[in-house]
Structure 1
Amino acid sequence: MMHIAASPRGARLLGAGAVLGLLQACSTTPTPDPASTPQIERELLSHSLHIETGEPLVMDTPHRSIRVTESRLFSIRQYDAQGTLQDEHRQYQTLPWADRTLTIQLGELAVTRQTDSDGQLRLNLLDEDIVPVDFDQLRVIELDAQATPEVRAEAMLLIDRDLRSVLHEASELIYDNLEEDEVSQWVDRIERLRQLGLKEEASQLENMLILLTTGDPQLQGDFVQALDNATTPQE
């Protein structure tokens, strides 16, 4: 019996034929028909925002934590492969209104604040861009969140009469003519803020003055010493 050895060229041709056959088999494999698989439809029914201003409605301190949430209501429909409705239900989704801009109206002045990743922001009525407000006349703070022209939320806060007086005095203590004061007057400002119950602002002013006097070690040393003397009980 004779044995005929396949030539290298023939082997390559046989290999190419096998690959071609495999490709043809793959090309004839049926792909899923979208019409034959279950389908899920989701329809937006409503979209709204909500501003949580906390309690009480009347602000008696300069600070308030604000939270904004975004809610959506969906209709969910699930169909089988034949297009028959299998299930229909509603899905309610509430998420933080994260990293979005809230408009705050204070009398004739409008400022904006950005929510954080939790949809929260901290309102501080002694922020530098707010203090130009005439606090003696400020009665209402209006908050406005707008996702689209059709989707928005509004809320308001009232200002306590005693707080208006505190804000007026505190804004002058923090911002008015610091560079013209003596060291002892700086200390008086800080102590007065503490007396008004504004410990956070007192600490911020103290730190700011220490930073501002960095270029004058003598002045900074005098200020730090005056602070120590003011906080040391007198015998």
Structure 2
Amino acid sequence: MRHPMLPWALWLCAGLTLVGCSSQPQPPGGVATRVERELVSHNLLIDAGEQLVLTSPQRTIRVTEQQLHRVTEFDARDRVANSHESHQSLPWDDQPVILIAEDRRFTLRTNHDGVVRLNLLDEQFIDLDFTNLRTIQLVARANPTVVAEQTLLISRELRAVLREAVALVYDNLEESGVEQWVYRIHRLNELGLEEESNQLENMLMVLTIADPELQYEFLQALNADPRP
């Protein structure tokens, strides 16, 4: 036989239900429904390594973009639920970096990691007066007010290497013979320019591919006078 629930029992159940609902934890400040980001600072940083005096034609340059935002979260009643600062550091991806030397400007470009590989023996630089070149300046610019600059010094030893290496790398190969080819390869290696030495050797292999006898003579001379 079913008995109707007594009035006091109904009130007890209702009270427990209300207590249970009111005891559910609420997130502080409520749930954010709108977020505002305010740019506080914006900078570029050029990292050219700890040593600012170049002793080699090559140098790896890394450019980083740094931003500081103030992030404000608002709840459904448009009250501030939270406020904090957010730091962001990203590679200066696929962006120009200007190199200034002797009042001349050259454009380099970063890769997707924000890195550009400087090589003063690249063809665009070979007309510079390496005898008197003392400094180069690197400039990265996001906008007129966000600019990073870095100056690198050219050592006396490097200036001498550059003057000699330009001729070794870029003088006409077809106007010289096998003996001169081998000398140029070895001399670049002696100057510490192994990359350029290897590139010249590979170029000569391609140049002589249509003349097996000349290529054989070149390889014989190269092997007879091994690199130091």
User: What TM-score, normalized by structure 2, do the two folds share?
Assistant: 0.82
Q: What's the CA shift string for 1:14-37, capped at 9, x where partnerless?
A: xxxxxxxxxxxxxxxxxxxxxx97
C-alpha RMSD of matched pairs (Å): 1.7
In structure 2, what is the equivalent of residue 57 of structure 1? 52
> Which letter does structure 1 place at the counterpart of 2:179?
S
Report the counterpart of residue 189 of structure 1 in structure 2: 184
Asked if 1:82 is matched to 2:77, the reply is yes
Q: 141, 150, 173: which is aligned to 2:145?
A: 150
The alignment partner of 1:180 has SS state of coil
Residue correspondences, number: 198
Match for 1:98: what amino acid? D
Alignment partner of 1:111 is 2:106: yes
Q: Within 1, Cα distance between the matches of 2:55 and 2:201?
A: 24
> Does the Cα contact within 8 Å between 1:76 and 1:90 map onto a contact in 2?
yes
Alignment of 1:1-235 (within 5 A): 38-231=33-226
Any stretches of 5+ residues in structure 1 without a counterpart? 1-35
CA distance in 1 between partners of 2:165 and 2:195 (Å): 12
Structure 2 distance, partners of 1:109, 1:229, is 44
Q: Partners of 2:102 and 2:216 in 1: how far apart?
A: 42
Q: What's the offset of the Cα at 1:159?
A: 0.4
* Contact 2:32-2:75 at 8 Å conserved across structures: yes
Distance in 1 of aligned mates of 2:227 and 2:204? 20
Contact 2:67–2:88 at 8 Å: present in 1 too? yes
Superposed displacement of residue 150, structure 1: 2.3
* SS of residue paired to 2:131: coil
Which AA in structure 2 matches 1:96?
Answer: P
AA matched with 1:102? V
For the 8 Å contact 1:101–1:114, the answer to whether it is kept is yes
Q: Which deviates the most, 163-172 or 143-152?
A: 143-152
Query: Residues 232 and 131 of structure 1: is their aligned pair in 2 closer, same or farther, counting only changes over 3 Å?
Result: closer
- Structure 1 residues 202 and 78 mapped into 2: Cα distance closer, same or farther (>3 Å)? same
- TM-score normalised by structure 1 residue count: 0.80
Identity %: 49
- Could you say which residue in structure 1 is the equivalent of 2:7? none
Shift of 1:219: 1.7
Unaligned runs of 5+ in 2: 1-30
Question: Quick one: which amino acid aligns to residue 166 of structure 2?
Answer: S
Question: Runs ≥4 in structure 1, deviation > 6 angstroms?
Answer: none
Provide the rounded CA distance (Å) in 2 between the counterparts of 1:93 and 1:232.
49
Q: In structure 2, what is the Cα distance between the partners aligned to 1:96 and 1:232? A: 40
- Give 1:222 deviation, angstroms: 1.4
1:94-129 Cα deviation digits (max 9, x unpaired)? 000011111111213322111111101111111111
